[in-house]
């Protein structure tokens, strides 16, 4: 058993808002204790951050990038430590945990080149003797609220760019797997970041609402479910904050008749069952077009049945447990409901038991066909190892099915046709698109974000759009006349000439 506290002002802080257990999803046992925060915890963190940011915001770009370069080396050296903490508290396999750290490092590496991203514009002689230039400056204290499914990668989408652009950052990670965030806090301190510039507060809704309403926080970035994203967006915006709230998803992968069926099945199995389907970029829906349906269902069933389900720290494991007993029960209940509604259960993981881990949150892969289009198993975000295979007659029907979803996070098409791939990219109403790629998560120096109910706010995560989110622009118009120069008084609005 271990304890996880808040990290405020460069040291552990327990506060007085109570505690809750931290569980290992593979065993069902409590492995640690988390100290929870409240409004007073958040207020202390904001006051500490505001004081630290005043100096950090004036620090040279050279100093900021040196911290980022040092941080990169420390994170690489600590990858196994961070991955072990993620696997212990989230359940995902160690290779998957290392993979999310590697993807998070892409954003940290982007932050090391912040000198390029913060360059302004200069225009000489826009009017006679008058020049214009721009600069970008930090907002001040900003906050990130992140989900359980990527306890390292998603926070990395936020804090490196926020800090590199001169802000102080307060992170509220998921209370289910908090240890990775505290490890990152320690590494920032080792990298030379001044105490108070990166802080961690833990807790649930009370802590979240305190962050959303605190007058000392100027921007909030969030990743999580759509209902909570809506709450975050509405509440923070009402309190005058800049908001970036990434919501849920129900990503579709279209399999065309000319697709390589084995490739499509292997790739979609990875998207549907990797990390037990607990990814916002998971693929819970496959859409088969025309006569490819039977071949694809047979191929995806074969892929699902050969997966080894077990603890994430075992080398033989392909698919880990889900995060909580409730998540396991949701997959089982939704499978039951789909079957009762007439769906065919092609692969049934409901009764799976992992020997020696009978109290773990294990459920096997589920593959369903013949699901009614209005059934919740298809329309809702299951967030578990379930794949629903829908069938349509042609490309236009597939496009209509995908576009009718209220979500617009990610999608994929498997085809050998450049014509259909190009049409799909142009006509689908989704923010991130893969062609023969099941999980089209952009690299860290691009930007991540969906459409429709998958994103609330104007800015996508990481990459250049994050620089715009965490800074604001000033435009300067300057004249330096000679001391003897005579300028006539004019009451007209100034024009250029």
- Side by side, the strands of the sheet bearing 19-23 are 2-4, 30-35, 19-23
Predicted pLDDT at 496 = 73
- Residues forming a β-bridge with 13: 6
> Could you write out the DSSP letters of every residue in 199-213?
EE---SHHHHHHHHH
Question: Would you list the domain boundaries of the chain?
Answer: 2-248+450-477, 252-435
In this chain, the answer to whether the domains covering 2-248+450-477 and 252-435 adopt an identical fold is no
Element (H, E) at 97: helix 94-111
pLDDT at 494 over 90: no
Give yes or no for a contact between 284 and 393, defined as CB atoms under 8 angstroms apart. Answer: no
Tally Cβ neighbours within 10 Å of residue 8: 25
Using pLDDT thresholds of 50, 70 and 90, give the confidence band for residue 410: very high
Q: How far apart are the first and last CA of the chain?
A: 73
Q: Which residue has the higher pLDDT, 490 or 177?
A: 177
- Residues forming a β-bridge with 22: 32
pLDDT average, residue stretch 478-493: 83
Q: Which residue has the higher pLDDT, 16 or 409?
A: 409
CA distance linking residue 484 with residue 124, whole number of Å: 22
CA Rg value for the chain: 25
Average model confidence (pLDDT) across the chain: 95
pLDDT digits (tens, 9 = 90+) for 191-204: 999 999 999 999 99
Q: Which residue has the higher pLDDT, 2 or 492?
A: 2
Say which residues have a Cβ less than 8 Å from residue 332's Cβ, sequence separation at least 6.
350, 363
Predicted pLDDT at 265 = 98
Count how many residues are written for the chain: 497
CA distance linking residue 367 with residue 301, whole number of Å: 7
Element (H, E) at 299: helix 293-305
pLDDT at 351 over 90: yes
pLDDT at 30 over 90: yes
Q: Of 280, 283, 287, 382, which residue is the catalytic one? A: 280
CA distance linking residue 271 with residue 277, whole number of Å: 7
Using pLDDT thresholds of 50, 70 and 90, give the confidence band for residue 461: confident
In degrees and rounded to multiples of 5, residue 345 shows phi and psi of -90, 100
Predicted pLDDT at 446 = 81
pLDDT at 252 over 80: yes
Q: Which of 267, 244, 322, 256 is nearest to 289 (CA)?
A: 256
Which fold would CATH assign to domain 252-435? Aldehyde Dehydrogenase; Chain A, domain 2 (3.40.309)
**What is the DSSP pairing of strand 11-13 with strand 141-145?**
unpaired
Predicted pLDDT at 409 = 92
* CATH class as words, domain 2-248+450-477: alpha beta
Predicted pLDDT at 222 = 96
Give yes or no for a contact between 175 and 36, defined as CB atoms under 8 angstroms apart. Answer: yes
pLDDT at 495 over 90: no
pLDDT at 453 over 90: no
pLDDT digits (tens, 9 = 90+) for 103-121: 999 999 999 999 999 999 9
CA distance linking residue 34 with residue 123, whole number of Å: 54
Give yes or no for a contact between 161 and 44, defined as CB atoms under 8 angstroms apart. Answer: no
Tally Cβ neighbours within 10 Å of residue 77: 10
280 is catalytic: yes
CA distance to 316, 336, 354, per residue, from 309 (Å): 9, 21, 7
Strand stretches in 349-445, DSSP E:
366-369, 386-392, 407-408, 410-414, 432-435
Using pLDDT thresholds of 50, 70 and 90, give the confidence band for residue 94: very high
The Cα diameter of the chain in Å comes to 91
Say which residues have a Cβ less than 8 Å from residue 175's Cβ, sequence separation at least 6.
20, 34, 36, 202, 203, 204
CA distance linking residue 252 with residue 390, whole number of Å: 10
pLDDT at 491 over 90: no
**Mean pLDDT lowest for which of 5-19, 338-352, 455-469?**
455-469
pLDDT at 497 over 80: no
Using pLDDT thresholds of 50, 70 and 90, give the confidence band for residue 385: very high
Say which residues have a Cβ less than 8 Å from residue 327's Cβ, sequence separation at least 6.
278, 361, 383, 384
pLDDT digits (tens, 9 = 90+) for 45-84: 999 999 999 999 999 999 999 999 999 999 999 999 999 9
Element (H, E) at 69: helix 61-77
- Residues forming a β-bridge with 21: 33
Give yes or no for a contact between 59 and 166, defined as CB atoms under 8 angstroms apart. Answer: yes
């Amino acid at each position: 058993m271990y304890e996880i506290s808040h990290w405020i002002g460069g040291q552990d802080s327990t506060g007085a808002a109570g505690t809750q257990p931290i569980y290992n999803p593979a065993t069902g046992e409590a492995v640690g204790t988390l100290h929870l925060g409240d409004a007073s915890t958040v207020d202390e963190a904001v006051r500490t951050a505001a004081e630290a940011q005043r100096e950090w915001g004036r620090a040279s770009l050279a100093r900021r990038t040196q911290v980022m370069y040092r941080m990169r080396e420390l994170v690489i050296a600590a990858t196994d430590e961070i991955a072990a903490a993620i696997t212990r508290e989230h359940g995902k396999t160690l290779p998957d945990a290392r993979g999310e750290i590697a993807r998070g490092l892409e954003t940290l590496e982007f932050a090391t080149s912040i000198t390029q991203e913060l360059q302004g514009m200069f225009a000489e002689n826009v009017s006679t003797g008058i020049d214009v230039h721009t600069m970008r400056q930090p907002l001040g204290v900003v906050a990130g609220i992140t989900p359980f499914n990527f306890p390292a990668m998603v926070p990395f989408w936020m804090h490196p760019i926020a800090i590199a652009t001169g802000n102080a950052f307060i992170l509220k990670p998921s209370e289910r797997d908090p240890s990775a965030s505290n490890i990152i806090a320690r590494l920032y301190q080792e990298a030379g970041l001044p105490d108070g510039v990166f802080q961690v507060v833990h807790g649930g809704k009370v802590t979240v609402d305190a962050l959303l309403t605190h007058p000392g926080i100027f921007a909030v970035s969030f990743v999580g479910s759509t209902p909570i994203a809506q709450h975050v967006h509405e509440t923070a915006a009402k309190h005058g904050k800049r908001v970036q709230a990434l919501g849920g998803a129900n990503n579709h992968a279209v399999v065309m008749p000319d697709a390589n069926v084995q490739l499509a099945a292997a790739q979609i199995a990875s998207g549907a069952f990797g990390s037990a389907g607990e990814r916002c970029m998971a693929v819970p829906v496959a859409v088969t077009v025309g006569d490819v349906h039977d071949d694809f269902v047979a191929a995806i069933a074969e892929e699902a049945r050969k997966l080894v389900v077990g603890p994430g720290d075992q080398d033989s494991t392909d698919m880990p447990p889900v995060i909580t007993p409730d998540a396991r029960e949701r997959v089982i209940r939704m499978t039951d409901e789909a079957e009762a509604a007439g769906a065919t259960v092609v692969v049934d993981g409901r009764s799976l038991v992992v020997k020696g881990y009978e109290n773990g949150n294990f459920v096997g892969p589920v593959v369903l066909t013949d699901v009614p289009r209005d059934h919740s198993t298809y329309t809702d975000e299951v967030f578990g190892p379930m794949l629903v295979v829908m069938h349509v007659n042609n490309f236009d029907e597939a496009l209509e099915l995908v576009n009718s979803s209220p979500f617009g996070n990610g999608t994929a098409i498997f085809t050998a046709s450049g014509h259909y791939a190009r049409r799909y990219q142009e006509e689908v109403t989704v923010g991130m698109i893969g062609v023969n790629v099941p999980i089209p998560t952009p690299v860290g120096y691009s930007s991540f974000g969906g459409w429709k109910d998958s994103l609330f706010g104007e800015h996508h995560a990481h990459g250049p759009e994050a620089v715009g989110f965490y800074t604001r622009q000033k435009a300067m118009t300057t004249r330096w006349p000679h001391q003897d120069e005579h300028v006539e008084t004019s009451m007209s609005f100034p024009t250029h000439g």
